[in-house]
Amino acid sequence: MQSSHRTLSKKSPPAASTAASVQPNSRAGRAGGAHHGAGASTDVGGGVGTEVASALAGAKVQSLPRSSGLRMLAVHAHPDDESSKGAAMMAAYAAAGAQVMVATATGGEQGDLLNPAAGEILQTHRDLPGVRRMEMAEAAAALNISHVWLGFADSGLPEGDPTPPLPFGSFATLPLEQATAPLVRLVRRFKPHVILSYDEVGGYPHPDHIMSHKITVEAYRDAGDPTRYQGLGEAWEPQKLYYDRAFNPGRFEAIHKALLEAGHKSPYEDRLLRFRDGSIPWMTEHEVTTQIPVGTFLEHRDRALRAHRTQVEPDGFFFATPNDFLREVWPYDDYVLVDSRVKTELPEYDLFSGLR
């Protein structure tokens, strides 16, 4: 096992080539890379990667330990993101006794009706944002988690050449401190031990996803500093920061291979080809450090996804692989440990490792 104790430095530049680094998304001179404590060895993104991957491949962890008294905060950009990224993990921790909260930055106001069947709901044609708020409440109930809105306006996904400017005042256009302040207030009120969000490209390069990454890193760094964001509550220092790895190529590769070996058609072939030929230029190469057993909670994820009926087709891509098959091949949600203020061992099978 690899012992790890990382600390974000406010002075040192980030080690951008490592999976353990945090990109410099705050003021110049303050952003820092992830560093190990005394006696620890190399970063995950370097020499540890192969060792961790090997250990993860041999893991047979099936369930989580009891997690009463522990708190987790997941930061997302739009309603439905929480259900497509880490939903089963959150349901698993809620069932284990942890307090799990999702903070959604925007209301998804710029979104479109992506499931034609939901057009039968008349309200979608006059108040799609209102419908999406109701969908979010239903999804949170399906996962047994709490939810808050940060209150920002959706920036939309600009398309065209050149791309048009983002809407004035939308989330991704705001100064970093202004956008981070509501999240710092929430962190200081909820007091999470662990915070999760997207990597530096937002998981995929949507402006609101990238901004969600930035405010999460900023809040993780500064919520515990009483000299920063004054007037937003008593300082609270979260102990661990993770990036979601829902787009883990290794996961898609394993499921694709298993489907073919079982004589089934794979829905992942085109996506894997794009991974391999470099036609997804925004894909990051962070090494997975942490896998959470979620096999028992895949149906919770499905119920949460289907709650977002205006955005998710009930028989679409998310449901292309039967859950019983996933339980055999890849019953995990994947994460990257970016920073830890407590000692932990890699690989991990518990986001609260080192905190119990």
Tokens encoding 186? 């929430």
Residue in the block written with tokens 């994460």: 335
User: What backbone phi and psi angles, to 5 degrees, belong to 21?
Assistant: -90, 155
Rounded distance between C-alpha atoms, residue 301 and residue 292, angstroms: 14
Contacts of residue 194, defined as CB under 8 A and 6 or more positions apart, other chains included, come to 70, 71, 72, 73, 238, 239, 240, 241, 242, 351, 352, 355
- Among residues 320, 317, 326, the alpha carbon closest in space to that of 296 is found at 326
Rounded distance between C-alpha atoms, residue 122 and residue 138, angstroms: 18
List, for the chain, all residue ranges whose pLDDT scores fall below the cut of 70: 1-51, 53-60
**What was the pLDDT predicted at 59?**
63
Cβ neighbours around 225 below 10 Å, total = 13
Domains of the chain: 64-247+331-346 (3.40.50.10320)
Rounded distance between C-alpha atoms, residue 355 and residue 341, angstroms: 10
Rounded distance between C-alpha atoms, residue 339 and residue 197, angstroms: 12
Integer-rounded Cα Rg, in Å, for the chain is 20
Average pLDDT, the chain: 86
> Is 70 within 8 Å of 193 (Cβ atoms)?
yes
As a residue count, the chain comes to 356
**What was the pLDDT predicted at 271?**
84
| pLDDT tens-digit map of 176-209 | 999 999 999 999 999 999 999 999 999 889 999 9
**What was the pLDDT predicted at 93?**
98
> Is 207 within 8 Å of 239 (Cβ atoms)?
no
125 phi-psi bin (left φ>0, alpha ψ -120 to 50, beta other): alpha
Q: Please give the full DSSP string across 163-214, using - where no structure is assigned.
A: PPPPPTT-GGGS-HHHHHHHHHHHHHHH--SEEEE--TT-SS--HHHHHHHH
**What was the pLDDT predicted at 12?**
31
Q: Which whole-number Å values give the CA distances from 330 to 166, 222, 263, 324, in the listed order?
A: 38, 36, 18, 10
Q: Give the distance, in angstroms, between the CA of residue 161 and the centroid of all CA atoms in the same chain.
A: 30
By CB atoms closer than 10 A (0-12, 13-18, 19+), residue 34 is buried
Cβ neighbours around 212 below 10 Å, total = 30
| pLDDT tens-digit map of 29-80 | 333 333 333 333 223 333 345 667 666 666 667 889 999 999 999 999 999 9
Tokens encoding 178? 């202004």
**What was the pLDDT predicted at 38?**
30
**What was the pLDDT predicted at 6?**
52
